[in-house]
Structure 1
């Protein structure tokens, strides 16, 4: 039994594919410590006593953000499977009618 209309399930497929591509790339760039993403690191606005403390906090932030991006990409994969299943059910129901 389809829960979504054909257009909604197709929209879900397209958005899921885009989300997977974007989040996997962002996770990769966080993993290689891209300087362009340094503004989004948590906890770098506090005062540091030495440079090693700053680097440790920055490395931790990069790793955590990369992990978060990859988790979100996995959630988009689940959404993609659900949307594709709904699209399949809708196309199967329109053929049988």
Structure 2
């Protein structure tokens, strides 16, 4: 069943591969608490008054963003499977 053409399916395949690589690396760096991503954390303003609360909020934010990157990478993997299937269908016909 052909859903999209050969150029679009190839483009989606390449974008999916890049998305998986990028999000997997970002998820890994957030999981190991890389200081390079500290500006991307979502920390509530009231957590800035106490050091322990701030560190807990920072740890929670790192974990949540790492999980979100993993979910997004999995969605890109689904897109890769569908677009790869379309590349195969277009090359077969």
TM-score bracket, normalised by the shorter chain, equals over 0.9
Structure number with greater Rg is: 1
Higher helix share: 2
Name stretches of at least 5 consecutive residues in structure 1 with no aligned partner.
Answer: none
For residues 47-70 of structure 1, what are the alpha-carbon distances to aligned partners after superposition, in whole Å with 9 as ceiling and x for unaligned? 433110000000000000000000
- In the superposition, the TM-score normalised over structure 2's length comes to 0.95
Paired position in structure 1 for 2:10: 10
Paired position in structure 2 for 1:53: 53
Question: How many correspondences in the alignment?
Answer: 92
Q: Distance in 1 between matches of 2:52 and 2:69?
A: 26
Structure 1 residue ranges, 4+ long, deviating more than 4 angstroms after superposition:
none
- In the superposition, the TM-score normalised over structure 1's length comes to 0.91
